[in-house]
Amino acid sequence: MELVIGTKAWSTWSMRPWLALKKTGAVFDETLIPLRQENGISGAAILARSPSGLVPALRDGEVAISDSLAICEYLAERFPQAQLWPADPVARAFARAAAAEMHSGFASLRGECPMDLGAAPRAVALSDATHKDIRRIVALWRGLLGRFGGPWLGGGEWGIADAFYTPVATRFRTYGVLASDFGDDGAAGLYAERLLARPEYLAWAAGA
């Protein structure tokens, strides 16, 4: 099994399935393609390994998948013992919805606060649109943690939904975002800290 990823300091899309795959305990080859290279070098290298010409891309025998959420869904079915989705159907539905919302939304936060694991923490001025994104994320975290009892979004096991919000936790840290300024009672802030203390994330960050 091979996972093709982009630069670890920047590629949120690569991080998410990498974390999920790490959680499974499966042995896999990591192929890292540096991003933001001149003369189209990155694009050509990715296209040679990814059907869509984008990272991440998973290759498992004859199977080739190049969408982060689709990769995670594949891993959940390939490695059911890893419990990447909650066993409870209601918790699973909510966790899937949370991951899908991250997968397709929060464009303003993404644009104004790109992930950069090598950047020094700093406070920045954020637009109203980004404030709205952050408030929604904080509310979503608090809602799921309260509904399913934590410590993770779907309940007791860290899973795909948590992998999808791990890059958000790094953004909050880098750009000085305090969840308490956006309606948090403490639960969301502690959740962000737990995400960044996970062994899977620490292994990713060590290679960034």
Structural domains present in the chain: 2-82 (3.40.30.10), 89-204 (1.20.1050.10)
pLDDT-derived band at 35, boundaries 50, 70, 90? confident
% of the chain residues with pLDDT over 90: 88
Q: Is the pLDDT of residue 36 over 90?
A: no
Specify the pLDDT at position 40.
47
Q: Is the pLDDT of residue 82 over 50?
A: yes
Q: Is the pLDDT of residue 97 over 70?
A: yes
Across 92-104, average pLDDT = 98
146-191 pLDDT, tens digit per residue, is 999 999 999 999 999 999 999 999 999 999 999 999 999 999 999 9
Q: Is the pLDDT of residue 8 over 80?
A: yes
What is the spatial order of strands in the sheet that 63-65 belongs to?
29-33, 2-6, 57-60, 63-65
The rounded distance, in Å, linking the Cα atoms of 152 and 7 is 27
Asked if residues 2 and 33 have their Cβ atoms less than 8 Å apart, the reply is no
CA angle 189, 106, 86 (to 5 degrees): 60
38-81 pLDDT, tens digit per residue, is 544 455 566 566 666 677 999 999 999 989 999 999 999 999 99
